[in-house]
Amino acid sequence: MSNISINMDESYRRLSQNDSQLLQGKKALVRVDFNVPMTNGKIDDDSRIKGALPTIQYLLDNNCAVVILSHLGRPKGKVVESLRLDPIAQRLEELLGRTVKKMNACIGEEIQNAKKSLTSGEVLLLENTRFYSEETHNIASFSRELAENMDFFVQDAFGCVHRAHASVEGVTHFLPSMMGLLVEKEFEALKGVFINRKKPLTLLIGGAKIDTKIGVIRNFLPIADTILIGGGLANTFFNAKGYDVKDSLVEIDKASTALSILQDAGEEACQILLPRDFVVAKDISDTAETRVLNRKNGDLMNDGEKILDIGPETIQQFSEVIANSQTVIWNGPAGLFEFSPFANGTKELGKAIEDNNNTTIVGGGDSVDAINRFGFDETKFSHISTGGGAMLEFLEGKMLPGISALKKSHEL
């Protein structure tokens, strides 16, 4: 039976449900996910910053002062100059059309004085929270300092809510706390998959490793009509079924896990489809020589070859399933789409999902990257999640610390 019920509790507090009069003149501490891709100090994609704008603007429109928390990269508790949030502050200032004061720390006397002097309509961006080891270790004293001189906390970093970090979960112990507009949107979209259950329901899952996907697959066995498996993930299933995948990416030690999933799917009357054919090559490059093999026809791989994409017969079969689905959830690419010889599977399945006018939900960094890379129309997808890991854990039915903590919140 699906384990998702743990995430369905309606007692979570939400920013959108607050009487705006209660917000007037208050100081809001807002956790966002500004962990944007950057090259040489320049932002490559500002979509995560734009995603947080509705919540920030809502607070400003209600005469709040706003203090923003975010991490960037993995500095591992040390100050890394290239991971300071100054470029983000500059871009946020441009998008908001108002001054954003950037601080070079998260705690300390200077920060507390800046919070105290902050007035309605002003925005303060604190430094990278992961410059402090106390952040990832969720140290209460650090959380308390983050919360000091603030009136309430808004959780708007969906990409981080599966982490029990100080700025994600810890601060909720010291402030009235609630979902921001972005997190609420994510929560409702993903929850709707399980509550509405528009059938046929199809899960398209790819990527490299079975460990990060197994919980999701198992949780969907009782409710999905079809699970389509592609990417490196499929290789582990091929290997478990006795097909020699040669030099392909494969988790040999997960063969029993793959076989048990296939057995459980039969018991749940959920159809799991593996690729019938696939594209193989000996090298990974934009000029690689490829050939298409059909597993069902008994085609065998040569030494040194790797499975790097799904083939045309599989594309047609998977696309037909997608076209006939009322709900499609997509997480993970069908192949190594970053290289043109192995991009077709992901591109064509993405197109099939784009053309489906029913409920379509996409998540995971690679899937979202594919949407951008192939120029798909984002408005044609019902929901594009901002958090790959958080989305997977939600769909797996796990408790998300950054969301479950909101139930303990006090009234404003």
Each residue's pLDDT tens digit, 198-207: 999 999 999 8
Residue 176 above 70 pLDDT? yes
Confidence of residue 6 (pLDDT cuts 50, 70, 90): very low
48 tagged catalytic? yes
Each residue's pLDDT tens digit, 79-115: 999 999 999 999 999 999 999 999 999 999 999 999 9
- Comparing 350 with 4, the larger pLDDT belongs to 350
Rg (CA), the chain: 23
How far apart, in whole angstroms, are the C-alpha atoms of residue 300 and residue 259? Answer: 21
365 tagged catalytic? yes
For residue 411, the model assigns a pLDDT of 63
Mean per-residue pLDDT of the chain: 93
Alpha helices in 38-127 (DSSP H): 47-61, 86-96, 109-117
Mean pLDDT of 351-364: 95
388 tagged catalytic? no
For residue 3, the model assigns a pLDDT of 55
The residue extents of the domains of the chain are 4-185, 197-396
Task: Write out the H or E segment, with its range, that includes residue 136.
Answer: helix 133-136
For residue 8, the model assigns a pLDDT of 55
Residue 392 above 90 pLDDT? no
Task: Write out the H or E segment, with its range, that includes residue 65.
Answer: strand 65-69
Residue 10 above 80 pLDDT? no
402 tagged catalytic? no
Task: Write out the H or E segment, with its range, that includes residue 360.
Answer: strand 359-363
Mean pLDDT of 392-401: 88
For residue 301, the model assigns a pLDDT of 96
Alpha helices in 211-360 (DSSP H): 214-220, 231-240, 255-268, 312-323, 344-355
Q: List all residues 6 or more positions away from 269 whose beta carbon is below 8 Å from its beta carbon.
A: none
Quick check: bond before 200 cis, omega within 30?
yes
Query: With contact defined as beta carbons under 8 Å apart, do 131 and 103 qualify?
Result: no
The domain at 4-185 falls in which architecture? Answer: 3-Layer(aba) Sandwich (3.40)
Name the DSSP class of 138. T
How far apart, in whole angstroms, are the C-alpha atoms of residue 412 and residue 410? Answer: 7
Query: With contact defined as beta carbons under 8 Å apart, do 389 and 162 qualify?
Result: yes
HSE (CB half, 13 Å, CA atoms) of 291? Answer: 9
Each residue's pLDDT tens digit, 225-239: 999 999 999 999 999
Nearest CA among 330, 312, 366 for reference residue 202: 330
As a whole-number percent, the residues of the chain with pLDDT over 90 amount to 81
For residue 7, the model assigns a pLDDT of 53
Q: Report the interhelical angle of 47-61 vs 181-196 (nearest 10°).
A: 110
Q: Tell me, which fold does domain 197-396 have in CATH?
A: Rossmann fold (3.40.50)
Each residue's pLDDT tens digit, 295-321: 889 999 999 999 999 999 999 999 999
Active-site annotation holder among 101, 191, 209, 291: 209
Mean pLDDT of 339-361: 97
For residue 18, the model assigns a pLDDT of 81
Active-site annotation holder among 48, 91, 130, 254: 48
Active-site annotation holder among 73, 121, 215, 365: 365
Confidence of residue 267 (pLDDT cuts 50, 70, 90): confident
For residue 17, the model assigns a pLDDT of 85
For residue 410, the model assigns a pLDDT of 59
Each residue's pLDDT tens digit, 18-36: 888 889 999 999 999 999 9
Name the one residue in this structure whose structure tokens are 């990417």.
Answer: 231
Q: What is the 3-state secondary structure (H, E, C) of 189-219?
A: HHHHHHHHCCCCEEEEECCCCCCCCHHHHHH
Mean pLDDT of 126-136: 98
Please tell me if the domain spanning 4-185 has the same topology as the one spanning 197-396.
Answer: yes
Confidence of residue 330 (pLDDT cuts 50, 70, 90): very high
Under DSSP, is residue 227 helix (H, G, I), strand (E, B) or coil?
Answer: strand
Q: List all residues 6 or more positions away from 117 whose beta carbon is below 8 Å from its beta carbon.
A: none
* CA 381, 387, 393, 399 torsion-angle sign: negative
Q: Is 193 exposed, middle or buried (0-12, 13-18, 19+ CB in 10 A)?
A: buried
